[in-house]
Amino acid sequence: MEPAPTVPQLSIEHERALALARRWDEALTLSGISPEIVAELLGVFQAEFMPHFEHEETTILPVLERAGRTDLVERTLADHRILRNYCSAIESGGWSHIGTLTSFLIAHVRFEENELYPTYNAALTSVPVAP
């Protein structure tokens, strides 16, 4: 089955998120935390990650909810909440959270690519469209 039209775009966004997380991790290892890294991370989070989360929460998660996969819905929402909290902490000066955020982001992307999206694609064929 071909993936739903929304998943390929989200996967492209995941590729970018992984590349950024790895770059931020490398920058932290090589030169430590810099104001430039923090500014970039916060800008990307607001401009790209927040809309990505909202899209998943309004398109993918309702389908999974109707399919009875509340475990995946709850995990995704919890992950999004944790990532938002790390970002808020960083924005408030908790720069030491950057390494934890990047590690968590990488694990989250892998979860979505390996579990969430395949289950969503399968559910599209078996779950009635919402009224």
pTM of the model as a whole: 0.88
Cβ atoms of residues 6 and 59 within 8 Å: yes
Indicate whether 3 pLDDT > 80.
Answer: no
Q: What number of CA atoms fall less than 13 Å from residue 17's CA on the CB side?
A: 28
Number of other CB atoms surrounding residue 7 within 10 Å: 21
Rounded to 5 degrees, what are φ and ψ at 127?
A: -105, 130
pLDDT tens figures, 32-86:
888 998 999 999 999 999 999 999 999 999 999 999 999 999 999 999 999 999 9
Query: How many other C-beta atoms lie within 10 A of the C-beta of residue 49?
Result: 20
Distance (Å, rounded) from C-alpha 13 to C-alpha 122?
A: 21
